Copies of this chain bind each other. A is one copy, B any other.
Amino acid sequence: MLPQALVALSLFLSAVQPASALWPQPRQITTDQTALKLSPGFDIKLTGIHNAPKDLTDAVSRTSSFLRKDKLEALVVDRGASSAKVVKAAKSLKALRVSLTGDSKTVKSISEEATLPLESRSESYTLTIPADGSDATLQANSTLGLFRGLTTFEQIWYELDGNTYTLQAPFDIVDSPAYPYRGLMLDTARNFFPVEDIKRTLDAMSWAKINTFHWHVVDSQSFPLQIPGFMELSQTAAYNSRAVYSPADVKDVVSYAAARGIDVIAEIDTPGHTAAIAKSHPEHIACPEASPWTQFANEPPAGQLRLANEQTTKFTSSLLTSAASLFKSHYFGTGGDEINLNCYAKDEQTQAELTAQNKTIDSALDAFTQASHKALKAVGKTPVVWEGKQTSLKNPHKYSSTSTEMLLVHPVTLDPETLVLVWISADNVKSVVDKGFKVIHAANDYFYLDCGGGGWVGQNVLGNSWCDPFKTWQKAYSFDPLANLTPDQHHLVQGGQHLLWTEQSSPSNLDSTVWPRAATSAEVFWSGPGGDVGAALPRLHDLAYRYKQRGVRAISLQPEWCALRPGKCDLNA
């Protein structure tokens, strides 16, 4: 970690003289203005790494491929043409030497490093690119750190007349993330996403150094996950027999992600958001598809696990542990959001069970949650939960105001290691941290990618999205992860993420809804907050244009006229 003053200084300098189009901005970077190009025989050499892990050599191959194929022209009016002479005369870089610091006898793969507990990962690296043509060097104390450095190296170069060049050598970069968790959540239950779309998203995430894919894999609308021992769930509640993730698919996604420095935290939301389970196990579900749904759930269809039933509690624990076994991650999401009290009030069985056990909903929820969390911990998983306070009328989630949240309203006992996703409002973070929990920032008022897309509930002519307006990249970029917290609470903030709920999203608009917006939280939680929106914009353009070169349909943030003229389209330009 850099001293805060030096970080602030480097951010300030980069704002005055944008050093490069790197995204996220490295924590410490110095550059100058010498042209340098890649030699035709440019090579990336792993030096001193015996038995280099395959995912590291694969990563090197991908970097080499991007260097050849990106062919991104500089985002200036003439797309670099006026630099032709300078580039032609520039020195050539022949090699990037990649090496590990520390004990090279115990080299872990990127995949192993990426799936360690958050506190055990090292993503730091140093990258030096001299201006005189002598070899560049990339060093780290982990293969994961080397991978992050390769990602940075890829972003340095532009294309002109067959040359791959920079005008800003030399580079001296010392980099490490400000926060250990930088994520993206995708809901694959409201609408289904084939594995190829997920993989393309994982690639794009890795290019912005996002290290967690939070996979909201099932929900009330569909259950695409095939879980050993629970195949009837996907058989009856997947949208169709092709809209499923088999154990082989999951393994594929998990290993593809891990090789790109990404941990996959899957989530099976409980006890709410479980209507799909009623298709094969009606005995476990209260108020399945009850009507009118507005009284029983925040969105259709209604249906919640019978939290006071012993068999349902066992079923849930068994389901979660079996599902968790498909994933490498140390973490697994159990949900806990939007529990509809009316659903349980109207479920005669649940009411009878509460009475028989002399329990309230609160104590039943506590017991239910503790049972499933205990089961997950027994198989080595740390739970991840959604938290918030009771939905206020001012900000009703979706269309109902009868839902509630676990942690802040009900006295649910959670292990202090539990990761708590704060989604209803960034203002709730303080209350969660005050209870001593680790938090992941996931506030809808900053990071929900689906807000502002219009209302989707039928027969609601003048409706718009429940969390209007659209959450701009600028809003996300202005987020302060430490707002209202005391210095001794700062360590509880693990990071944050953008999120895509997919009531109105599908493969058709996945890329365009996510990119480049989701890269802004990646920078907030890697580089640290406080960056200037105006200084960030040219770099974000650069990232978006590079994504397009790589086949990810990132949107245009401005007319190209503006993208080629930094600052000219600022409000006061």
Contact = CB atoms under 8 A, between A and B. Distances in A.
Contact of A556 (B222, B462, B508, B554): B508
A222 B560 contact: yes
B468 A463 contact: no
A239 B556 CA distance: 14
A555 B510 CA distance: 9
A468 B222 CA distance: 32
Given A294-B571, A399-B571, A573-B293, A239 B560 contact: yes
Nearest to A506: B556
Interface string A542-573: 00000010000111111111101001111111
A321 interface: no
Given A509-B553, A569-B300, A472 B452 contact: no
A464 interface: yes
A191 B533 CA distance: 22
Interface string A440-482: 0000000000001111111111111100111111110110000
Contact of A191 (B469, B471, B534, B559): B559
A475 to B, nearest CB: 7
A102 interface: no
Contacts of A478: 461
Contact of A474 (B191, B455, B471): B455
Contacts of A472: 454-455, 463-464
B292 A459 contact: no
B292 A572 contact: yes
A516 to B, nearest CB: 10
Contact of A561 (B300, B475, B555): B300
A325 B523 CA distance: 51
A79 interface: yes
A498 interface: no
A192 interface: yes
A337 interface: no
Interface in A389-423: 399
Contacts of A507: 553
Contacts of A469: 452, 454, 464, 468-469
Nearest to A556: B506
A189 to B, nearest CB: 8
A511 interface: yes
A384 to B, nearest CB: 23
A190 B562 CA distance: 9
B221 A509 contact: no
B300 A556 contact: no
Given A452-B464, A504-B558, 5 more contacts: A191-B560, A452-B453, A457-B570, A460-B474, A460-B533
